[in-house]
Amino acid sequence: MIASNDLIAAIATAPGRGGVGVIRLSGQGLAGVVAGLVGRALQPRHAHFARFKAQDGAVIDEGLALYFPGPASFTGEDVLELQGHGGPVVLRMLLARCVELGARHAQPGEFTRRAFLNGKLDLAQAEAVADLIDAQSEAAARSALKSLDGAFSREINALTEQMITLRMLVEATIDFPEEDIDFLQAADARGKLAQIDEQLARVLATASQGRMLREGLHVVLIGQPNVGKSSLLNALAGTDVAIVTDIAGTTRDTVRELIQLDGVPLHVIDTAGLRETEDAVEKIGIARTWQALEKADLALLLLDSREGITAHDEAILQRLPAQLPVLRVFNKIDLTGEQSGAVDDYEVHVSAQTGAGLDTLRQRLLALAGWHGANEGVFIARERHLDAIRRAAGHVDSAAHAFNALELFAEELRLAQQALNEITGEFTSDDLLGVIFSRFCIGK
């Protein structure tokens, strides 16, 4: 891994117009840019008002210039931030001027990648930068910040430390056979391994919750017209976080909405459009909906209490993936006089109109979809992390069966440790880094 430190530049603020726009530069050769653009030296970490000059001396924009000398900067390199007016044209002119003065356009995620390569962040923290920017709910944002702050990495590092201690113990036993098995027994190697195993399970559970916060839960909504689907979604979203939006880019008749439930992003896929059709475009939309169902976490079958399950509902239920949990929701109990609440784990009676039974519904829905987390303490995580933890747990399990073959035991522990290290990125291939950072936005 070669950390190149040539000068890169990018517009760091979101495209479009805004009050302020920021251009960020990082790397070697900032002095030339400062001289050409500002015309005087900048005091580190001070906000300087400046007129940003073109080559012919004309003023491109005026604003603030901030200089952060490395290594005490985000990337660890010399960093310059130019705050100008947030218009796309003026920012492009300013960026072009930086390039004229020796910078090159940064690639997506290149600033954060440099921060990682220069040891300012580990890989899990760098990923949390992107996850914070992409957060779909407040809880997701909070947990991304937690990971950025190192909460996840600390758990992983603590586990790695324990593995190293145990490995040293075992390897000492291998190297000095006179310190035989009794020695390991005295050191409670078995107990230590069991502890590691338990802790791995705990981290895996938290990380799974963190992955749900990052990706959201996917819920399929089944129900006939007029049973109260829209009413229920609105009631569930609540007033404090009533984000009910159609997600752009979805095809006709594939309705997807994003709401938050107790801070968990919930993608709701409405199956109302799943009907027989000859329309080619509609067919594509329907095929996509069936695809989306494959990775759903839960199906919600909404029923009118006065009518129950219809043949059309049955037909859709039949075609759902077999392992997908289904929660039956009998709505409009205000019209039947039934009691609200849960009948069992898979059936609740509610009124979207009066709100009766909705708390129970929220609970059941989240629990069935796999969300157990109190939001506090959950750090954001990705499938990549879960996979690494699972592999580590597999090796620890193999180690537990290898107490009478110490070489094997030590090797399994080494592999477990290696798997965990992938999370924080101690030994990471350039390919993986490329994949991770290419998904960042430019300027981050």
Minimum gap (Å) between residue 353 Cβ and ligand GDP: 4
Alpha-carbon dihedral of residues 89, 440, 290, 217, nearest 10 degrees? -110
Q: Is 344 annotated as a binding residue?
A: no
Q: Which of 59, 242, 335, 432 binds ligand GDP (CB under 6 A)?
A: 335
Closest CA to 280 of 253, 257, 318: 253
Stretch that binds ligand GDP, among 101-109, 113-121, 255-263, 332-340 (CB under 6 A): 332-340
Cβ proximity to ligand GDP: between 225 and 249 the closer is 225
- Part of the chain binding ligand GDP (CB under 6 A), chosen from 21-29, 329-337, 370-378, 391-399: 329-337
- Contact (CB, 8 A) for 15 and 7: no
Q: Is 230 annotated as a binding residue?
A: yes
Binding mask of the shown chain, residues 174 to 213, with x at each position contacting ligand GDP by CB under 6 A: ----------------------------------------
Among 28, 157, 199, 230, binds Zn ion (CB under 5 A): 230
Q: What residues from 71 to 130 belong to the interface with ligand GDP (CB under 6 A)?
A: none
Is residue 242 marked as binding? Answer: no
Picked from ligand GDP, Zn ion, none, the partner binding residue 363 (CB below 5 to 8 A depending on kind) is: none
> Quick check: helix, strand or coil at residue 253?
coil
- Which residue of 162, 230, 363, 398 would you call a contact of ligand GDP, by CB under 6 A? 230
Nearer to ligand GDP (CB atom), residue 94 or residue 232: 232
Q: Which stretch binds ligand GDP (CB under 6 A): 123-131, 191-199, 229-237, 314-322?
A: 229-237
> How many Å apart are CA 177 and CA 158, to the nearest integer?
29
Pick from 201, 108, 203: nearest CA to 147: 203
Q: How far apart are CB 336 and ligand GDP at their closest, in Å?
A: 10
Rounded CA-CA distance 228/351 in Å is 9
Using Cβ positions, the residue closest to ligand GDP within the complex turns out to be 228
Least separation in angstroms between CB 212 and ligand GDP: 26
Q: Rule CB under 6 A: choose which of 4, 43, 226, 339 binds ligand GDP.
A: 226
Q: Does 227 bind ligand GDP (CB under 6 A)?
A: yes
231 binding ligand GDP? (CB under 6 A): yes
Strand, coil or helix: 329: strand
Q: Candidates 21-29, 56-64, 124-132, 220-228 — which segment interacts with ligand GDP by CB under 6 A?
A: 220-228
Place of tokens 């530069």: 25
Contacted entry of Zn ion, ligand GDP, none for residue 335, CB cut-off 5 to 8 Å set by kind: ligand GDP
Q: How far is the CB of 231 from Zn ion (least distance, A)?
A: 8
CA angle, 304 then 285 then 440, to 5°: 110
- Is 226 annotated as a binding-site member? yes
- 231's contact among Zn ion, ligand GDP, none, with CB below 5 to 8 A by partner kind, is ligand GDP
Cis peptide before 15 (omega within 30 of 0): no
Pairing verdict, β 59-68 and 18-26: unpaired
User: With 0-12 CB in 10 A as exposed, 13-18 as middle and 19+ as buried, what is 411?
Assistant: middle
Q: Edge-to-edge strand order for the sheet containing 59-68?
A: 47-53, 59-68, 79-86, 18-26, 8-11, 104-105
Q: Tell me the C-alpha distance between 309 and 246, whole Å.
A: 27
Judge whether 77 is annotated as a binding position. Answer: no
Give the C-alpha separation, 239 to 223, whole Å.
Answer: 24
Residue type, 18: G
Closest CA to 20 of 67, 82, 108: 82
User: For the chain, how big is the Rg over CA atoms in Å?
Assistant: 28
**β-strands 298-304, 341-344: how paired?**
unpaired
Strands (E), 76-226: 79-86, 104-105, 217-222
Query: Which residues define the annotated binding site for (6S)-5-formyl-5,6,7,8-tetrahydrofolate?
Result: 24, 81, 120, 444
Query: Which residues define the annotated binding site for GTP?
Result: 226-231, 245-251, 270-273
List interacting residues with Zn ion (CB under 5 A). 229-230
List interacting residues with ligand GDP (CB under 6 A). 223, 225-231, 331-332, 334-335, 351-353
Query: Which residues define the annotated binding site for K(+)?
Result: 226, 245, 247, 250
Query: Which residues define the annotated binding site for Mg(2+)?
Result: 230, 251
